[in-house]
Amino acid sequence: MRELVAQRLSLPTQRVDQWIRFDVLPEVAARELKIENGQPGFIMEMRGYTLRNRPLYYQSVYSGPFAERLIILREHE
């Protein structure tokens, strides 16, 4: 997401918040993941900020149950 926004809008992402929780998935996400509606899952929300701490983007990631470890890698620029 960061690279796309930088290429298309020429705005750098200077800071990102990441919020992770385990909660009931939205109906559309459950349907796409083929999980029964009302079931809990993994939810990660990311908010990117640009110059002068202005909001730039919001992104949500949803997942059903998984057994492997979740690894989040960050590239340092």
Q: What is the mean pLDDT of each run of 10 residues along the chain (77 residues)?
A: 72 89 95 94 94 92 90 69
- Residue 36: beta bridge partners? none
Q: What is the distance between the alpha carbons of residues 45 and 36, in angstroms, rounded to a whole number?
A: 22
State the pTM of this model: 0.76
* Domain spanning 2-63: CATH 3.40.1410.10: yes
Query: What local confidence, expressed as pLDDT, does residue 77 receive?
Result: 53
Domain boundaries, the chain: 2-63
